[in-house]
Amino acid sequence: MFDPRSDPTLGAVLAGNAAALAGVVLFGFDLHTLLVVYWIETGVIGASIAAKIRRSEATDDPNELPDWEYSPMGGGSRSVRELAGASNRTVLGQFLGTYAVFWTLLGAIVISIPDDVAGIDPGSPLVVVAATVGLAATHVVSYRVEYLGRREYERTGPVALMIAPFDHLLVLFVTVWLGSIPVRLFGEPVGALVVMVLAKTYADVRAHGHGGTNGSGPEEKAA
């Protein structure tokens, strides 16, 4: 049985998605409010990862990193394995230069939805601000309790941390694109929004289980 005390990060993932579901069912969140909150959540995750990269004291093994290529801002395509052994400052710069591009692109898509899709109203600023405060607080607690309190920074290298949030970013890209389909066809039925939240929750949990941001990546070796 899942015990949130044994995995605070997964607990934060479930709590955030549960809050979104409650917002749809109980408070009438519309599609755009939901997607803006999800986009902000991804930005908060990026900020959390940046803080973890700066604090990391572990060393990455290039043989245990995925053979992914990325294109940092102002540079050509590179393999993440090339960063193994680089300083935390270097890895942080590469992370920010890559993640910021994807996050900004996603934000442009999300923010433009009311202009591009007939019948979609802009999200509620009050809800978005409240969600931002709540999400930030959740990740601060997770950082203090899990990353520092459980000394995760000694087990997870900066490059492993750098690649961790991209599964979540991909989930949100898919959510944005697929979430617009029932809205274009049927408007904004609560059922469609509930299904979208549940699908994102499932994808988030799967991404977490495959490395996510829980620190159970390749740096944790058996004794």
Please tell me whether the overall predicted TM-score, pTM, comes out greater than 0.85 for this model. Answer: no
**Which region among 34-38, 70-74, 148-152 has the lowest average model confidence (pLDDT)?**
70-74
SS (H, E, C) 136-152: HHHHHHHHHHHHHCCCH
Instruction: Return the pLDDT at 214.
Output: 41
Taking the alpha carbons at both ends of the chain, their separation in whole angstroms is 25
Cα dihedral 8, 12, 15, 16, rounded to 10, equals 180
Query: Do the Cβ atoms of 17 and 221 come closer than 8 Å?
Result: no
Q: Give the residue numbers spanning the domain of 133.
A: 32-209
Total domains in the fold of the chain? 1
| Domain membership flag for residue 217 | no
DSSP string, 155-184: TS-HHHHHHTTHHHHHHHHHHHHHHHHHHH
**Do the domain assignments include residue 12?**
no
CA distances from 7 to 47, 97, 151, 197 (A): 20, 29, 13, 21
* pLDDT value of residue 49: 92
128 or 210, which is more confident? 128
Asked if residue 9 is part of any domain, the answer here is no
Mean pLDDT confidence for 120-133? 75
User: pLDDT band at residue 222, thresholds of 50, 70 and 90?
Assistant: very low
- Cα dihedral 31/32/33/39 (nearest 10): 110
Q: Is residue 159 part of a domain?
A: yes
Q: What is the chain's Cα-based Rg? A: 18
Helix axes 8-27, 31-55, angle to 10 degrees: 160
Whole-number pLDDT of residue 116: 66
Q: Is 119 contained in some domain?
A: yes
Strand partners, 78: 70
**Beta-strand relationship, 69-70 and 78-79:** antiparallel
In a domain, 216, yes or no: no
For the segment 1-26, what is each residue's pLDDT rounded down to a tens digit? Answer: 444 455 556 666 677 677 777 766 66
Mean pLDDT score, 187-201: 69
Q: Which amino acid is at 100?
A: A
| Mean model confidence pLDDT for the chain | 75
Does any domain span residue 4? Answer: no
Q: Is residue 66 part of a domain?
A: yes
Inter-residue contact 60 to 158 (CB < 8 Å): yes
